[in-house]
Chain A
Amino acid sequence: MTKINLTDLTIRKAHEAMKTGDFSARELTQTYLNKITEVNPNLNAYLHLFDGALKQADEADKRFKDGTAELLTGIPMAIKNNICIKGEITTAASKILENYRAIYDATVIEKLRKAGAVFLGGTNMDEFAMGGSTENSAYGVTKNPYDDTRVSGGSSGGSVVAVAMDGSLASLGTDTGGSIRQPSSFCGTVGLKTTYGRVSRYGAIAMGSSLDQIGPVTKNVADAEIIFDCIKGDDDMDSTTIPENLIKELKVKEKMTIGIPRHFMKEGIDEDVMKNFDESIEKLKSLGHVIKDIEIPNIDYALATYYIIMPAEVSTNLSRFDGVRFGLYKDGGENLLQDYMKTRAEGFGPEARRRIILGTYVLSAGYYDAYYDKATALREVMKKDFTKAFEEVDIILTPTAPTPAFKIGEKSDDPVQMYLSDIFTVSANMVGVPALAVPSGFTERDSKQLPLGIQFMAPWMGENILFEIGKDFLGEK
């Protein structure tokens, strides 16, 4: 079998190689499976490998022969384990769904399947996508491939590490407050949070329904664009998707004006992150872009507002797990109510319980006005602030995360410290704009190189602007 160099491989390169016959889809899939067998036992990126991968690869090889192959045909992908693939175990890294087999394909899976992608396996995550380190998984932490004493970030840590360890060419994650972008920053991958409503959430296990979006994790921006083009679009099964007739193609400028909300970067940011951020700004200047200081008045409230709206939606969404229709059932109660209480006590981990309780509190009579109602009003104000900011600039730039990857266990006893890890990423979810995290260099800790990242935010439906600036920054043009 041809030896395939996975390190430098991209979707387009793999496509060309399969087209010219340098290697087959089966050989490519087998190479990834071998790599997974070698590195996954330590890093724990994958929770389950799917049985059908080699068969799908054979199907892809047929398409290369009969000339119907598309860009994603035969491309091996990892799928976050909260996205349904028919017949496969889909746990959302929770004990309450330990034995749950999805009974249908998510819309994004259906689209990728049609394009001929190969699904290698389901990846680890924080339980129900709640967390920033994958330490909340019921199935163990996913370690950082650059330093295995550190976290991968989260919640899509498994999907990100699958790509970073060359255990898949690309993957899908979900992003509710930074869950694709923050781990991408920790592990040196490219991660895209799409405009709210641009990609169907049908078949993604819901966490915060007004915030959740599915998006790609890849090695470069061109690959993220290829996957985005495949999975985007209006869907009859998700009423929050944006109808095609309302999609605006935004104009992409060659030289862009990039806004920096400096007032938002005063406290709690690692010195090396700031230094790298300033170097990234210099690089963008040297590429001919214009840098402008901007103010986004209420952005300081984004994280606090997020920690009201998200748990409120969590407490609602997770009420469906009760041991009646699917998942874990704990017997032993005298009546149905006690069965519910025992099942949920056994099935949910500490962070899920914490957020359910918090969400129940902010929605309860007497506190609703002060928390939930105020937070939703503040969210509307923030949307206006972003609209105004985008009248002045094409792009808003921040670091992706305030620190490099932290040590396993370092923040697990302090929920608020963990939440602060999403400080730069949550606002894109709160207002619904797309955001792209790209690697921007390294810093050294304990004589190990750790990746850092920056985040570009564009106006609603401005993914094309993000791809342009991202490729320019990474030298992909």
Chain B
Amino acid sequence: MEIKDIEKLAELARIEMSQQEKEKILGEMDSILGFIDQIQGAKVDINGREAGEVRNIMREDGDPHESGKYTKDILKGAPKTRDGYVEVKKIL
């Protein structure tokens, strides 16, 4: 791994990082990957897998609560709101 890999991952993960932190994480990733790489020695076929136990875990979406019942409570936790919506900055 190189510093540019950490930069790419930080961008994908939406976390701003200082140069110093990137360097620290780079060192830690090397040691963690060194540890988890032991699974490469395991004899396991990733293509020969069977489907596990299969059952329907979906339920009927019946008996809905009345619309708007929780809106006020939920919005109370949001940092910025306007007219019953959460508010964010422009995307483009």
Contact = CB atoms under 8 A, between A and B. Distances in A.
Given A101-B77, A301-B38, A301-B39, A325 B86 contact: yes
Given A324-B86, A354-B25, A240 B57 contact: yes
A373 B46 contact: yes
Chain B interface size band reads 35 or more
Contacts of A358: 29, 32
Given A240-B57, A357-B29, A415-B28, A308 B39 contact: yes
Contacts of B89: 333-336, 339
A357 B57 contact: no
Given A371-B36, A415-B31, A103 B77 contact: yes
A199 B54 CA distance: 20
Contacts of A315: 13
B9 A364 contact: yes
Majority secondary structure of chain A interface residues (helix, strand, loop or mixed): helix
Given A339-B89, A344-B15, A345-B17, A415 B36 contact: no
Contact of A380 (B13, B35, B38, B52): B52
Given A298-B42, A335-B90, A357-B25, A364 B12 contact: yes
B40 interface: yes
B15 A416 contact: no
B49 interface: yes
A353 B25 CA distance: 9
A340 B12 CA distance: 11
Interface in B9-26: 9-10, 12-17, 21, 25
A378 B40 CA distance: 10
A414 B44 CA distance: 30
B25 A344 contact: no
A341 B77 contact: no
Contacts of B44: 374, 377-378, 381
A196 to B, nearest CB: 12
A329 interface: yes
A305 interface: yes
Contacts of B64: none
Nearest to A101: B77
Nearest to A381: B44
A348 interface: yes
Contacts of B86: 324-325
B59 interface: yes
A370 B40 CA distance: 8
Nearest to A344: B15
Contact of A100 (B13, B16, B77, B92): B77
Interface string A152-190: 000000000000000000000000000000000000000
A252 to B, nearest CB: 25
Nearest to B79: A329
B45 A341 contact: no
A342 B46 CA distance: 38
Contacts of B46: 369, 373-374, 377
Contacts of B40: 370, 374
A319 interface: yes
A304 B38 contact: yes
B78 A377 contact: no
Given A103-B73, A336-B88, A239 B6 contact: no
Nearest to B92: A335
Given A301-B39, A358-B29, A324 B78 contact: yes
Interface of B: 5-6, 9-10, 12-17, 21, 25, 28-29, 31-32, 34-40, 42, 44-46, 49-50, 52, 57-59, 70, 73-74, 76-80, 86, 88-92
14 contacts: A103-B70, A236-B59, A304-B39, A308-B36, A315-B13, A323-B79, A325-B86, A326-B77, A333-B89, A338-B16, A344-B14, A353-B25, A357-B29, A364-B9
Instruction: Please provide the 10 A-B residue pairs with the shortest distance between their CB atoms, ordered closest to farther.
Output: A329-B79, A345-B16, A326-B77, A341-B16, A239-B57, A340-B14, A377-B46, A304-B36, A103-B73, A360-B13
